[in-house]
A and B are shown apart, each in its own frame.
Chain A
Amino acid sequence: MNLATARRISTHVAVLAAFWAMASGGDFPPTGSAVFAVAVVASLLKGDRQISWLAPTLLVASAGSLVVLALAVAQGGLDLVVGAAIFAAVVTANRVLARKSAADDPLLFLTTLLMLAAGAALSGELAYGLGFAVYAFAVVLGLTFSHLELSADAAGVGIVRRNALASRELWLSLFGLAGVAMAGAGLFFVTFPRVNARWFGRHAGVGRDPLVGFSDQVRLGGYGALRSDPRPALRVTFPDKPDMPVDTDQRLDLLWRGQSLDRFDGKGWNVSPGQRDVGSPIPSNPARGSSVIHAHVEVLPVAQAASVFSPGEVLAVRLGQLDNQAEQATPHRAWRSAAGDATIAPRPAGYYAYDVWARPSSLAALAGKGRSYTELVQRMGLQLPEGIDPRIGQLAERWSSGLDDPLAIAVALRDHLKSEYRYTTELPGEQPDPLAHFLFERKEGHCEFFSTALAVLLRTRGIPAREVTGFSGGRRAPASDVFLVRAGDAHSWVEVFFPGVGWMPFDATPDAFKENEPSGLAAAWAAVADTFERSWRANVIDYDLMAQLRGLQSAWQAVTTAGERFRREPDGSSPEGGLPTLDPMRLAGLALLLIGVGFAFRAWRRRRNKGQEESPATAMWSRVELRARRKGAGRRPSETAREWVQRLQRDRSPVAAQVQELAALYEAARFGGIRWGADDEARIGTLLAAMK
């Protein structure tokens, strides 16, 4: 493969890999992907040819797209990060189409870096990592080939020596170099201090607001794609019970309650004034009891919360670490709000951790609790928006006809919703009455539609209910006791009030909202893919300052432990459990042996590599033989170059004259020690071209 082809291939692979990394998050419009693919294919077909009208046309197209994208972002029709990603793709498509020579490649690579940066803000998926890895290899190769070609142009190096440069040795060296670049990237990634400075703009990268699931308020029909958001929101361990029961998918069957919302305005939920006010402090002494769950929870910045996420009724909370040193000076504490939600005040700015002792809820013994609600509970749990669709009340009547007990009504309504309605993450778009649209027309939606429907249906039956947001489940990280709850696990459900007991959870969302379990070969593949994905999540996405500190701590511990084990006791014996001590003579002998092996290996490699480097003459001759073979006039293994030429002349082969001249040039360079001049190389190029 010649230098120009090697450069073209690696450049296009880098462009495609960067685009893949950017578009893998799913936010990039499919039309844009198709246009980009067409641009890359067109660029491959065009090669380095110059088309006079192309550059100005592309410039106008790029400027036009910038204006359109800016307008779309300004009007709120397009997310800023998605707009930036589209523009990066437009600029890259422009560069890849307009390129004329290797001199255009450095700027093309810069635009691909723009796409990667945009992809970093759009996606944290494993697919991004795969695209990134391919890109790292391709960009190292492409940049180096481009640089070599530019230097060859500048030095006026002929075609033969130029092509001889793109040898197998160079390819292998560059692959090794790319591997080193990847390792270096990994090293920087691990050691670069993790800071989340939040000087301005978006935090934590991905440009999606958590409009579905956990948030301060809920808007039905809003946009969002949280189910696929892989970033960890909570990291949970169970110190008293590391082997928490999980399903076959290593998933916990728990709801991590965050906060409640009591006011429904017909389109969404929010909180009545005063409900968030700090009430009573939550004790920090560990609670005891067989049913009590003790969880250590780390809340990662992606959750953007101040809640104490708990797998049941909060009994005690002991605050742990905050990632902001300045914040640690202020006295944070866990409080119960007026609405009964457990929260931390003052609100932490980023990461925080705590131990929580909670009692899981149980529906047993809820029957027959009656309907004697306090005024506060009625205010919190029975409010309905004005002008509510009368069909909703009628539906509640129909589904719970003949029932009077609140528990029986709640269970009946929940079961109807679970069984007769379908879960989907597809959004219906803006609707004038999203709840009525869900209940009577669409009959499918995500968790917020189900929880809203259950709460409103219960309220129409005079039973206090409210919306609750938090997270569902959590999966065990590979080979560890840590459970990761992802941002995509955000969930909402309903709490129903029972006199003498309190607010109890009811989840009306069909179980389909949990991922379907694959089976057979698909299951095996899903397990493998999931292992990679979890590993990616645990080691890359989830890698933060705490992980860095832990790594540093364990490294230091390993060093000190090793030091202890090698340290000899004053009497010459090794400490208990330590490694056996070696006397100095043996140690010196071992060192000498290792040095000897090293030298022997080096000598072997030198012998092996001797003479392997392909000279320009040899490379040229290989091409002569290859082209002659393609013409059916290949050299026989037993023939010398001279004999081969004589045979070709005898046979009146069409390539005889070229081979004769090339053989003379080859022998002069290979055995006569003569270096080819520019004229010779030009002549060789002409002769080789004539043999095509």
Chain B
Amino acid sequence: MSQVAVAGRAIPEEAAPKRSRFRPPRRLRVTREGWFYVLFTLGVGGAAVNTGNNMLYLLLGLQLACIVISGVLSEWALQGLSLRTEEAPDARVGEAASWHLVLGKRPGRIPSYTLVLTAMEGPARGAVAGVLRVAPGDSERVALRYTPTRRGRFTGRAMQVSTRFPFGLFEKSRDLEVEGPPQTFFVYPRRRPMPMPQGAPEQREGTTTRSEPGQGAELLHLREWRPEDGLRNVHWRKSAQAGRWVASVREREQEREIEVEVDLGAQEESESLEALELRLERASGEVEAALDAQRSVALRLGRQRLVDRGDSGGRRRLLRALAEAAPEFGGAP
């Protein structure tokens, strides 16, 4: 897992798992039933060697054969797999999120059964999802459900795929990386319902216009009339003067922006950092409340100022900025 800080120092985050260079390509874990089975096999082996009873040797042979078959089939299940993903949707601390992946199996003869995907990096680390069967040359869509615990921007693509096929006695696993560049995950601060921001009326009330086409009262410019303009927008006087249809284009009317400000100053103490997190959560709540009320928002994060321009990505831009906000140490708490 890696993490990018916007300003100052990195946001405190859980340590990334160390990837040892000596990490074996396959890991094997014995399940509870598997331990019983192994112990019983050892018991039968001991009894066979002690007594020389060929029936016990036969039973021992079957048990050992099942162990070998288990190893071979689980290996086949783990081979030829690939992972693709769509863009990871932004998530929010404390709320369930899904990361959709597509698990593919290369063409061949043998399907893969009972696979379990586990995220090894990113906010979804530790999240698991099961796939019952992937046919050769086919793929299965998997939703990895997780609940982030920390805000921030994360990257990651390391996954682990494991299987207990065919008997559930052993669990074999391997690393599997999502194809393509590492995924970026944004985790917004925790949702904290806030009322519509109130403050200085000169800052937060009244309307203004912007030099953009809209439905306001002020005229922006005139142009040739088009059928989609409708009769309502015909500028009758100019049309009469020009002898052709002329349409009036009016300015967009806009309310005054609501400005939300967050002080990023903090000390390197847990209380101070927690207080900053609280401020960010409140700011997030205010931004969302304002946006839900169809108001424009300007977000001031320390020295950075972001304005929602009313386009489709505005909300995401502001919330991502809150997700990435790093404390400015040395300033006022």
Partner of B56, one of A114, A121, A150: A121
Q: Can you name 25 A-B residue pairings with CB atoms under 8 Å?
A: A106-B169, A110-B37, A114-B40, A117-B43, A117-B44, A117-B56, A119-B55, A121-B55, A129-B58, A132-B55, A132-B62, A157-B132, A162-B132, A180-B69, A182-B62, A188-B64, A188-B65, A189-B61, A192-B57, A197-B49, A197-B52, A203-B52, A205-B52, A540-B58, A541-B54
A146 at the B interface (CB under 8 A)? yes
- Given A110-B37, A143-B166, A189-B58, also A120-B63 (CB < 8 A): no
A380 at the B interface (CB under 8 A)? no
B135 at the A interface (CB under 8 A)? yes
A194 at the B interface (CB under 8 A)? yes
Please, which residues of chain B bring their CB within 8 A of the CB of A195?
49, 52
* Among all A-B residue pairs, the 6 with the closest Cβ atoms: A184-B65, A196-B52, A205-B53, A155-B130, A120-B55, A188-B61
Per the 8 Å Cβ criterion, residues 40-91 of B in contact with A are 40, 43-44, 47, 49-66, 68-69, 73
Please, which residues of chain A bring their CB within 8 A of the CB of B66?
139-140, 181, 184
Please, which residues of chain B bring their CB within 8 A of the CB of A364?
none
- Given A144-B167, A155-B130, A675-B141, also A186-B61 (CB < 8 A): yes
B62 nearest CB across to chain A (Å): 4
Per the 8 Å Cβ criterion, residues 166-192 of B in contact with A are 166-169
- Given A181-B66, A186-B61, A188-B60, also A124-B135 (CB < 8 A): no
- Taking a contact as CB atoms under 8 Å apart, the answer to whether B166 and A144 are in contact is yes
B3 at the A interface (CB under 8 A)? no
Identify 12 new A-B residue pairs, CB closer than 8 A, beyond the known A154-B130, A540-B58: A120-B53, A120-B55, A147-B165, A150-B168, A151-B132, A182-B65, A184-B62, A184-B65, A184-B69, A194-B52, A204-B53, A205-B51
A671 at the B interface (CB under 8 A)? no
Instruction: Determine the main DSSP class of A at the interface with B.
Output: helix
Q: Of all chain B residues, which has the CB nearest A123?
A: B55
Please, which residues of chain B bring their CB within 8 A of the CB of A544?
52, 54
Interchain CA distance A132-B113 in the complex, whole Å: 28
- Taking a contact as CB atoms under 8 Å apart, the answer to whether B54 and A540 are in contact is yes
- Taking a contact as CB atoms under 8 Å apart, the answer to whether A147 and B164 are in contact is yes
Interface size class of A (residues with CB under 8 A): 35 or more
Per the 8 Å Cβ criterion, residues 193-209 of A in contact with B are 194-206
Q: Of all chain A residues, which has the CB nearest B36?
A: A110
B114 at the A interface (CB under 8 A)? yes
Interchain CA distance A71-B130 in the complex, whole Å: 50
Partner of B69, one of A155, A181, A204, A675: A181
- Taking a contact as CB atoms under 8 Å apart, the answer to whether A181 and B56 are in contact is no
Q: Which residues of A contact B (CB under 8 A)?
A: 106-107, 110, 113-114, 116-117, 119-121, 123-124, 128-129, 132, 136, 139-140, 143-144, 146-148, 150-152, 154-157, 161-162, 165, 177, 180-189, 192, 194-206, 301, 540-544, 609, 613, 675
Q: Of all chain A residues, which has the CB nearest B165?
A: A147
- Given A151-B130, A675-B141, also A107-B33 (CB < 8 A): yes
Over the window 103-142 of chain B, the binary record of Cβ atoms lying under 8 Å from chain A Cβ atoms (1 yes, 0 no) is: 0000001000110000000000000011111010000010
Interchain CA distance A148-B167 in the complex, whole Å: 9
Q: Of all chain B residues, which has the CB nearest A150?
A: B168
Please, which residues of chain B bring their CB within 8 A of the CB of A129?
58
Q: Of all chain A residues, which has the CB nearest B128?
A: A154
Please, which residues of chain A bring their CB within 8 A of the CB of B37?
106, 110
B333 nearest CB across to chain A (Å): 47
| From A116, A161, A202, residue with most partner B Cβ within 10 Å | A116
Interchain CA distance A203-B61 in the complex, whole Å: 20
- Given A146-B168, A188-B64, also A113-B40 (CB < 8 A): yes
Please, which residues of chain B bring their CB within 8 A of the CB of A194?
52, 57
Interchain CA distance A184-B70 in the complex, whole Å: 12
A95 nearest CB across to chain B (Å): 13
Per the 8 Å Cβ criterion, residues 92-112 of B in contact with A are 109
Interchain CA distance A93-B33 in the complex, whole Å: 19
Please, which residues of chain B bring their CB within 8 A of the CB of A187?
61, 65
B185 nearest CB across to chain A (Å): 24
Please, which residues of chain B bring their CB within 8 A of the CB of A198?
50-52
Partner of A184, one of B64, B133, B165: B64
- Given A117-B56, A161-B132, A185-B65, also A147-B49 (CB < 8 A): no
Please, which residues of chain B bring their CB within 8 A of the CB of A106?
33, 36-37, 168-169
- Taking a contact as CB atoms under 8 Å apart, the answer to whether B51 and A196 are in contact is yes
Please, which residues of chain A bring their CB within 8 A of the CB of B114?
147-148, 151
Q: Of all chain B residues, which has the CB nearest A152?
A: B132
- Taking a contact as CB atoms under 8 Å apart, the answer to whether A184 and B68 are in contact is yes
Please, which residues of chain A bring their CB within 8 A of the CB of B132?
148, 151-152, 155, 157, 161-162, 165
